[in-house]
Each structure stands twice: as C-alpha cells, then as structure tokens.
Amino acid sequence: MTLESARRWLRAGLYTLAALQTFVSAWQYFRPRSFYDDFPTVRLDPPYNEHLVTDVGGLGLALAATLLIAAVLNDEKVALASLTGYLIYAGTHFVFHVTHFGNFSLGEALGVGTGLGIEVVLALLLLYTARLLHRAAVPAQR
C-alpha cells in the first residue's frame, strides 16, 4: 500500500465514522424522545439509564483525550479539530441547560449557566487563537 493510498483509506474511514456518528448523535440530540422510543434496545433500558449516562461519560472522556493530545502536540491543526468538537458539545450542553431551568433555584441557574458559559467562551477564545496560529504558520510552510 502506498502512502497516498493509505491517506485515501484513512480519509474514507474518517468520513464514514463521522457520517455514522453524526447520524446517531443528531438523532439523539434533536429528537431525543424519538431516539429513546424508536432506536432498537434503548427503550428496553430501565428508567435510570446507566447505559446512557456512561455513554455520555465516555464521549466526554473522548473529548478530553482529543484536547489533551492537542495540548501535548501543540499543533494548531489538531487544536482546531479538537476545539471544534469540544465547542459543539459545550455549546449544545449550554443551550440545553439554559432552556431547562424550570426546577432550578435562581442560584442554581446562575451557577450552572455561568459555569457552562465560561466553558463556551474559553473554547471560542482558544479556537480563535488556534486559527490565528494556523493562519500565521501557513505562509511559512510554502
């Protein structure tokens, strides 16, 4: 297998995984009740859904791993990718919580909203910084 062939296989595999994960994740996020009711086996889980909670925890660990790799490698391309993924998660998490404060006290709502908001702002600032670094590095690579 040539290097170019390996790159094509890698790219095709990444596109495939991204498409599959996007399909399931978008269904979970935008139509959670439909996912719970219609996805095979999900509704068979008990009301406290350990499976769902541990899956979300696993996804959070995966995001943490990509952020750690980006920090260790100190590469703006890897940082752009990991921060984009993190920002999508942090942004959707923030939006969910700030639109579901019905049972929260004012203090709880402020605490949760502020904490999650800080994560979004920090990710945006870091993404902006990584983009500036990437743009500065591109002319140097030519």
Angle, in degrees to the nearest 10, between helices 76-98 and 50-73: 150
Closest CA to 14 of 22, 3, 26: 22
What is the C-alpha to C-alpha distance for residues 116 and 90, in angstroms, rounded to an integer?
A: 7
83's tokens: 């921060």
Cβ-proximal residues to 119 (8 Å cutoff; 6+ apart), any chain: 90, 94
Q: Which residue has the higher pLDDT, 118 or 18?
A: 118
pLDDT by residue (tens digit) across 33-78?
Answer: 898 888 877 777 778 788 888 889 899 999 999 999 999 999 999 9
Q: Residue 139: which pLDDT band, with cuts at 50, 70 and 90?
A: confident
Q: Residue 10: which pLDDT band, with cuts at 50, 70 and 90?
A: confident
Q: What share of the chain is helix, strand, coil (3-state, %, to 5)?
A: 85, 0, 15
Q: Are 87 and 127 in contact (CB under 8 A)?
A: yes
What is the C-alpha to C-alpha distance for residues 135 and 125, in angstroms, rounded to an integer?
A: 15
| pLDDT of 68 | 95
pLDDT > 60? residue 142: no
pLDDT > 70? residue 140: no
pLDDT by residue (tens digit) across 72-128?
Answer: 999 999 999 999 999 999 999 999 999 999 988 999 999 999 999 999 999 999 999
First and final C-alpha spacing in the chain: 28
- pTM score of the predicted model: 0.81
What is the C-alpha to C-alpha distance for residues 27 and 9, in angstroms, rounded to an integer?
A: 27
